[in-house]
Amino acid sequence: MKKKAIFGGTFDPIHIGHLHIAYKALYDLKLDEIIFVPSGNPPHKDNKKVTDSKLRYDMVKKAIENEDRFSINDYEIKKQGLSYTYETLDFFNELEKNTKWYFITGVDCLMDIEKWKNVSKILSKCKFIVFNRPGYNIYDILDRKSFVENKYNKKIEFLDIPILDISSTYIREMIGKGEKVYYILPNGVDTYIRENNLYI
Q: CB-based contacts of 56: which residues, under 8 Å, 6+ apart? A: 10, 11, 12, 13, 14, 38, 50
Q: What is the pLDDT of residue 45?
A: 59
pLDDT in tens, 19-30: 999 999 999 999
pLDDT tens digit sequence for 31-85:
999 999 999 876 765 557 899 999 999 999 999 999 999 999 999 999 988 889 9
State CA 128 to chain mean position distance.
12
pLDDT given for residue 40 in this prediction: 87
> From CA 40, how far away is CA 72, in angstroms rounded?
13
The domain locations on the chain are 2-164
Share of the chain above pLDDT 90, in %: 90
Instruction: Write down the architecture of domain 2-164 according to CATH.
Output: 3-Layer(aba) Sandwich (3.40)
What is the 3-class SS of 92-105, one letter each residue? HHHHCCCEEEEEEE
The one-letter amino acid code at 168 reads S
Tell me what pLDDT residue 41 has. Answer: 76
Q: What is the mean pLDDT of the chain?
A: 95
Q: Residue 188 burial by CB count (10 A; 0-12/13-18/19+): exposed, middle or buried?
A: middle
| pTM to 2 decimal places | 0.95
Write down the pLDDT at residue 163. 86
| DSSP codes joined into one string, the chain | -EEEEEEEE--TT--HHHHHHHHHHHHHTT-SEEEEEE-SS-GGGTTS----HHHHHHHHHHHHTT-TTEEE--HHHHSSS---HHHHHHHHHHH-TTEEEEEEEEHHHHHTGGGSTTHHHHHHHSEEEEE--TT--HHHHHHHHHHHHHHHT--EEEE--------HHHHHHHHHTT---GGGS-TTHHHHHHHTTTT-
